[in-house]
Amino acid sequence: MIRGFLRNSYTSKATQLLTEMVGKGFCADIFTVTLFMDLILHSNKSILL
């Protein structure tokens, strides 16, 4: 789901889902972390605001 959100420019939804997952005790795997890192590196704005 996170990948779909990010590919369709729904960065706030992707960030919210990741935050909810972590809040429930789940950890992001390397694939999810890489998706967010790629977004941050290729974006002129912060997705974490």
What SS3 state is found at 6?
A: helix
| pLDDT for position 44 | 63
In a domain, 7, yes or no: yes
Establish if 30 belongs to a structural domain: yes
CB neighbours (10 Å) of residue 49? Answer: 6
CA separation, residue 49 to residues 10, 28, 41 (Å) = 14, 19, 15
- Per-residue confidence at 13, pLDDT binned at 50, 70, 90? very high
Q: How many domains does the chain have?
A: 1
Contact 14, 29 (CB under 8 A): no
Angle at 44 between CA 40 and CA 46, to 5 degrees: 55
Containing structural domain, residue 14: 2-41
pLDDT at 49 over 60: no
Q: What is the pLDDT of residue 9?
A: 83
The pLDDT value recorded for residue 25 is 95
pLDDT given at position 48: 54
